[in-house]
Structures are given as C-alpha cells and as structure tokens.
Structure 1
Amino acid sequence: MSIVALGTEIVECARVRTLIEQHGERFLTRVYTSAEIRWCQSRKNSTEQFAALWAAKEAVFKAVGLHGRPGAIWTQVEVEFKQGVPKVIPRGTVKDHLTTVGIGQVLLTTAFTRHVATATAIALRA
C-alpha cells in the first residue's frame, strides 16, 4: 500500500472543555458517536480524550480530502481504541468517499497533555 496523503491537527483542550460546558449533549452528539462519548467519559482525563478524538477526526478529514467540507460528517468517522491503538472506522458518505478516491485504510495516532491534543492520520491507497 502506498501513502496517499497525511493529515495532522492540534487542538487546545480548554477549547473543547468550553464547548462541552456551553453546549453539552448537543455538541457531543454532533461531533462524537455514542461509543466515543462512552469511551471518553469512562477515562480519567475525559476532556483531553475528547480533544484527542476531535484532533483525530480533523486529521482524518485532512488526509482523505474532506477538510472544510460542509455537512454533518463528524460522526461518520469513528475512532475505536483496541489495546490502546486507535483505529479509524469510516461510515456513510465518508466511507463512500474513501472508496471513490481509492483510499483503503487510514492509520492514526493521537497524543495529549493537559493543554493540547494532537493527531496524525495517514491515508493509504486501497
């Protein structure tokens, strides 16, 4: 498999905390899947986890050519952690887009501190 593109993002954790405090459940369900919300809320540093997932989704959008596109596609990219390793699960129109542009897999890594979260996504050809 060859690399198609790379996407990276850095997010301030305080910004995500403010969005959660101001908009609550409305914000969470617009950006995160129910599985992601449960996972983040079960973690000790839930705000940082939410920020890392936000960064992950933005990095994926950049890597696959969907950054800045209108529409509610946030929940069509789900990040699942298996033994600490993030896995991208595309759904709906995002999955269709990946098929159309010939992307078979998106590799992902995330990291965070108390202040910032970051993610990098690598799109691989099918």
Structure 2
Amino acid sequence: MTGADAMKTAPAAVLVAAFEASALAEGDGIVGVGLDVVSVPKMSRLLAAGGSAFLERGWTQRERSDANDDPERLAARWAVKEAVMKCLGLGISDLDPRDIEVDSSESGVPSARLRGAAAEWSRRLGISKIHVSASHEGGWAAAIAVVASGTRQQHPETEIHRQEGP
C-alpha cells in the first residue's frame, strides 16, 4: 500500500490518536489538532497563474529555497501551514501564511516556526510545543499538526520557535 492509498483509507481519528500518544505526557494537554490535504496539480496551476507574486505571498524565501520552488514540496509546506492554522483555531484570512515557516532537519523531520500574529496567538493559548508531519505522493500532499501546552522535556524539533519581526 502506498502512502497515498493509506491517506485515502486511514481514518483521521487513527492519525490523531497516534499523534496524541506521541505528543503527550503527564501534565501536557493538546490545545489543537489540524489536518490538511492539498492537491499538487491544483497547487501547480496556482503557482503558474500567480507567478512570483503568489510565491512571495505564501512562502518565506527560506521555504522556497528549501523546496527549490517544487510544487509538490511547496504543497506539503502549505498543508503544514493550514494544519497549524487549524490547531490555532485560525484561518488564512486571520494570518499571513509566512507567519508559519516550515523547515526540515537534515534527516527530513519537519518543524514549524511561528512569528508575527501566529507567535502572538500561540502565546495567548499557552502553547509550548508543536508537532508536525507531512508527506507527498501520488499528486497529494498531506500534513497533520498538534499543538500542546505543558512542561514535558521535548525533542528539539518540536519546541516552539517564535521569531520577532519579519
């Protein structure tokens, strides 16, 4: 079974339960869970129609560089942004999408850096951790995000990285 097949058949509740189990310890609490799926062909059309202006409005220079402006990789980053927004209880009309910057470690583990309104809102909600995972295959990109509060020792990739300014 491919990752795309699994995305079609695995109930979201199973994915969320697995993420909750990995994200929580005593004293921690989930503040929000978000899941998003993006059509890569649709993203390709949007990128072609919107050109550099669309790229500059949706992704930071670092994200674009890391993704080599590849529609599949940009779609995965967009899915992470949307999943994080859902965790925060916000939508695209509430945040500049560049306020959520998606990064990957050398081993490919994704993380999200919050700044601007996203960072401020996460402070208000008491969020101390953000867990994200993304995948792309078969014309689809998907991401899940879980934000939590608490004091448990965490993996460095899940720490909230808040950045002031642009």
Q: Is TM (by shorter chain) over 0.5?
A: yes
Bigger radius of gyration, 1 or 2? 2
- What runs of 5+ residues in structure 1 fail to find an aligned partner? none
Which residue is 2:115 aligned to?
91
Which residue is 1:102 aligned to?
126
Which residue is 1:59 aligned to?
83
Report the identity percentage: 29
Aligned to 2:48, which of 9, 21, 24?
Answer: 21
Give distance in 1, aligned partners of 2:101 and 2:38.
18
> Would you say how many aligned residue pairs link Structure 1 and Structure 2?
122
| Aligned amino acid, residue 46 of structure 2 | L
Deviation string for 1:1-49 (max 9, x for gaps)? Answer: 221111000000011100111111111111100000001117xxx2110
Normalising to structure 2: TM-score of the pair? Answer: 0.70
**Contact 2:100/2:115 (8 A) holds in 1:** yes
User: What root-mean-square deviation, in Å, do the aligned CA atoms of Structure 1 and Structure 2 show?
Assistant: 1.3
- What runs of 5+ residues in structure 2 fail to find an aligned partner? 1-27, 151-166
Give 1:73 shift: 1.2
Runs of 4 or more above 4 Å deviation: none
1:77 pairs with 2:104: no
SS in 2 for 1:60: helix
**Contact 2:35/2:143 (8 A) holds in 1:** yes
| Aligned amino acid, residue 114 of structure 1 | G
Normalising to structure 1: TM-score of the pair? Answer: 0.91
In terms of fraction of residues, the more strand-rich structure is 1
